[in-house]
Structure 1
């Protein structure tokens, strides 16, 4: 059975390339995250995470908080 790709979106305070660099190892090392990006041009600094079905929004939130940033799930 093929894993589904799911997109999760979060409001964050990741607002510059230095912040993105700081959070990169936390997100890149998390199993279940296929791809991610932060729109630093958006006032809410939207983090979009493409996942397979093996990771929860809570896990993404935990990893971003471990990197030292605020994060909140956006309802789609």
Structure 2
């Protein structure tokens, strides 16, 4: 399992609730978190899924996402 980090615009508790079903389905409950205190709203994901799967889940939920290298 690898740790992936993304810059997002998921910036509050309501946003997290909105994206939760999409990320839970894609990477599993408890395998992701969003640091809303960070100015870049960092999404950290522990998964074996492809980066594109995570990006698709977040964009399907209506949020912006960009992989951090």
TM-score range, shorter-chain basis? Answer: over 0.9
Aligned equivalents of 2:9, 2:47: Cα separation in 1: 21
RMSD: 0.8
Consecutive unaligned residues of structure 2, counting only runs of 5 or more, are: none
Residue 55 of structure 2 is matched in structure 1 by 61
Aligned equivalents of 2:68, 2:25: Cα separation in 1: 23
Matched, 1:16 2:7: no
Consecutive unaligned residues of structure 1, counting only runs of 5 or more, are: none
Normalising by structure 2, report the TM-score: 0.93
Runs in 1 of length 4+ with deviation above 6 angstroms?
A: none
Going by fraction, where is helix more abundant, 1 or 2? 2
Deviation at 1:21, TM superposition (A): 0.3
Larger Rg: 1
Aligned equivalents of 2:52, 2:66: Cα separation in 1: 10
Number of positions where the alignment pairs a residue of Structure 1 with one of Structure 2? 67
